[in-house]
Amino acid sequence: MTLNKYDSHAAADIFPLAQGLELDALAADIKTNGQHHPIILHEGKILDGRRRYLACLTAEIEPKILAWDGKGSPLDYVISMNVHRRHLTKSQLAVVALRALPLLAVAAKERQRQSSGRGKKGAQECAGMKGKATEFAAKLVDCCPRLVEQAKSIQASRPDLIPQVESGELTISEAYAEFRGVVPSKCHEDLQVSRARSLANIGDKSNRKANDAYYTPLHAIDSLFAREAFHGLTVEPACGDGRIVGRLQAIGCEAFGIDITQGVDFLTHSFVDFVTQNFGEREITNFATNPPWGKKTEFIERALSLAKCKVAMLLPLTGLTSIERIEHLSNPEFPLKCLYIFRKAVQFDEGRTDNGNGMLYCAWFVWERGYVGKPFIDWIAPEEEATPLPPSGVEPALPPPHTRPLRIAAHPDGFRPKVEYHCGDSKQVLGNLPADSIDCCVTSVPYYLLRDYGCEGQIGLEPSVGDWVSNLLNVFREVRRVLHDKGTCWINVGDPYAYGTGSFNSHGRDKHWTPGIAEARLQMARNRPVHPKSLMFAPHRLTVALAEDGWIGRAEVILLKQAVDGCKDRPIRTHEYLYLFTKTTDYYFDTDSLRVAYSSKTSERGYSASPRRRKSESRKPEYELHPLGKLRGSVWPAGPASGAGDHPAPMPLQVAVDCVRAGCPEGGTVLDPFVGSGTTAVACVENARHCIGIDLNRDYLDIAMKRVPGAKIA
């Protein structure tokens, strides 16, 4: 067989191309299951699907080819199809932006050429990004312009370092330090030695502690946590004796600490390796630390590049006068929020009581992504004292947090829940299950254009949102077939934003977004694409399609999440959706499992207020309070997602538990057609329900197997 030979388009080359074992695995998958997604060509070159093309060549299979529809620009299309489905670090995204700069310049010149005859104003409008190419490229790939500028400097002076950044071996900061001639061994000093040197000109050195260590006073730590809340995973990258981590854990925060003395250097790739090994693809929400002041600039830069929400650092007030740190104090992507300044000098050498040795005027510098407004100053009074540490305390060497042990539900009658996993396409596996055999379905569907789960044939990377809806409809038709008439179906889904033109101006535009929609509305939908930066309303399109397909929509629940997206021109999105569907109007629903406590006012009154309340007390009906509380409303806290290993988007366990308890009777069977890392199975085992889970990715099923001992893969 003779295979066609195609080169890659220049726009496609801005993204790194996977090789080696990853390519071999994809080739084997295509040879076994076939090629599900076509390769997109533009001007005879591959615009999207370079990896699939090489895999087809390796597997000796004629690739499926499709011409690009030509709407929008090729660069916008490539970015929209790749930037949100690849697991790229901010440094790797900066290299992508760097490679996009020449293409942006060509596009700008072309727009300027096309403006001839329209005057100076028209030329300026067509040029669009004159003088702002770096910022424009950074915005396209959602990274900091400063990183792109550093990538440009590295490319000009040490181009040999760019491939190492592209492969993930180095960060932009590490490569930038190397090309500037900073010796790594001197750049990353021992934590305690660095702290000692930063205080070298204060007091009599002979009076210092023997180990020359300066630990953060407890009252200084408490002053921060009394003013700032830390949600999500918080890291202390220079933990020393573990005081900051101990305080965080004492107030119920999820936190861990690392230290260079433990062999994990925050400023090198060893920190990334440590986090990946222990937390998979999970993002770090916050950093809180008293860094080695001799390396405060490096610590600030590193933390701002890795944190998702907040960075708090205890620094000397001299940090405000450093020219090299002005860019950190005025970073538009991660702005400085406030300074909490100590009115009295902080004594780091707790072995002394005088005002001499180890005392410095300092402040907590707090950065917060998405903060709008000017930084403010708050003063910390000298009389603020520390609260006692819990008796447990925290050891200096802090191990990473462990997932809580699985609590398997057991009953006197000998019932034990069973978990069965199936590896394969959900629709095909469901076709082998008998009808009316499932009591409940609980699942988090693959979100549209947000994740690449690493399997050919996966749902979520379709050319259009209409194709995504159509593929999910096919799965849920099989779910409805196997679901009992009294069964319920709970679907967790989030909504993406349109970042370019590819996700909505694709060849899939003639696909029905909702099969039952009237022809006139369908034609209107075809001619009205979603604009860049607009919500794609994917959950709403899916739910309307399910309702038109025969499902009964019973509830829409807002799941409040602690994640933030750092956007500055709209409210920060902190929610997802959870939908409840049923086959019939008579279905199983355990209301008591979703009850919450009444308000203190209602509890004191002893009855609930009547909707037909009268002015006369004697004529007002008294509604008795339920002993278990009131039925929960339609806004739920999502809770943290943990224990999922390398899975990029696990369902929060508490959400799965609530759905399982409310929608499935004890001893019943719950189905999850996109089980991923097995969160639904954990919820079932802990609440006396059987579970059947399906996933296309065997690696995720291996994670799920570890979370539920005794589970089997059919």
Return the SS3 of 589.
Answer: coil
CB 651 within 8 A of CB 677: no
The range of the structural domain enclosing residue 544 comes to 419-496+516-521+531-598+630-713
**pLDDT tops 90 at residue 491:** yes
Q: Are residues 97 and 152 in the same domain?
A: yes
Of 190-199, 483-492, 569-578, where does the model show the most confidence?
A: 483-492
Domain boundary among 130, 150, 179: 179
d(CA 193, CA 299): 16
What's the pLDDT tens digit per position in 129-176? 444 677 778 877 777 777 788 888 888 888 888 888 887 788 887 787
| 159 and 280 share one domain | no
Please state whether beta strands 45-48 and 623-624 pair in parallel, antiparallel, or not at all (unpaired): unpaired
User: What does the mean pLDDT of the chain come to?
Assistant: 75
What is the spatial distance between Cα 287 and Cα 582, in angstroms, rounded to a whole number? 44
Mean pLDDT, residues 683-703:
89
Lowest mean pLDDT among 20-29, 497-506, 607-616, 675-684: 497-506
pLDDT the model gives residue 528: 45
Top mean-pLDDT range of 84-88, 529-533, 576-580: 576-580
Does 32 score more than 80 pLDDT?
Answer: yes
**Residue 460's CATH number:** 3.40.50.150
Q: What percent of the chain has pLDDT over 90?
A: 18
**Shared domain check, 172 and 216:** no
Regarding whether 292 and 235 lie in a shared domain, the answer is yes
Can you give the pLDDT at residue 662? Answer: 94
pLDDT band at 402 (very low <50, low <70, confident <90, very high): very low
What pLDDT, on a 0 to 100 scale, did the predictor assign at position 475? 95
pLDDT attached to residue 401 = 39
Please give the Cα distance from 560 to 576 (Å, whole number).
7
Tell me the C-alpha distance between 598 and 631, whole Å. Answer: 9
For residues 542-547, average pLDDT: 95
- Residue 546 binned pLDDT confidence (cut-offs 50, 70, 90): very high
Instruction: Give 7's pLDDT tier (boundaries 50, 70, 90).
Output: confident
- Using a 10 angstrom Cβ sphere, with 0-12 exposed, 13-18 middle and 19 or more buried, the burial of residue 649 is middle
**Both 290 and 157 in a single domain?**
no
User: Would residue 387 count as lying in a domain?
Assistant: no
Where residue 243 sits, what CATH number does that domain have? 3.40.50
DSSP character for 457? T
182 pLDDT band, cuts 50/70/90, is: very low
Query: 307 to each of 14, 63, 297, 357, 370, how far by Cα in Å?
Result: 25, 41, 15, 34, 12
Q: Please state the domain count of the chain.
A: 3
Q: Residue 305 in contact with residue 171, Cβ under 8 Å?
A: yes
Nearest to 546 by CA among 493, 505, 503, 495: 493
Say how far apart CA 504 and CA 199 lie, in whole Å.
58
- 540 in the same domain as 431: yes
Domain stop point among 349, 380, 411: 380
Give the pLDDT score at 502: 37
The most confident of the ranges 301-315, 447-461, 538-552, 600-614 is 538-552
Segment 680-701 mean pLDDT: 90
Residue 457 pLDDT > 50: yes
* Distance between CA atoms of residues 710 and 689, nearest Å: 14
User: What does the alpha-carbon distance between residue 53 and residue 40 come to, in Å, rounded to a whole number?
Assistant: 10
Residues 340, 203 share a domain: yes
Residue at a domain's end among 179, 201, 236: 179
From CA 110, how far away is CA 118, in angstroms rounded? 14
Q: What percent of the chain has pLDDT over 70?
A: 69
Question: Helix/strand/coil (H, E, C) string of 639-698?
Answer: CCCCCCCCCCCCCCHHHHHHHHHHHCCCCCEEEECCCCCCHHHHHHHCCCCEEEEEECCH
pLDDT digits (tens, 9 = 90+) for 69-102: 877 788 888 877 776 555 677 788 888 888 888 8
Global pTM value: 0.46
Q: How far apart are CA 489 and CA 441, in angstroms?
A: 5
For residue 488, what pLDDT is reported?
Answer: 96
Lowest mean pLDDT among 103-107, 307-311, 392-396, 405-409: 392-396
Tell me, yes or no, whether 238 and 357 share the same domain.
yes
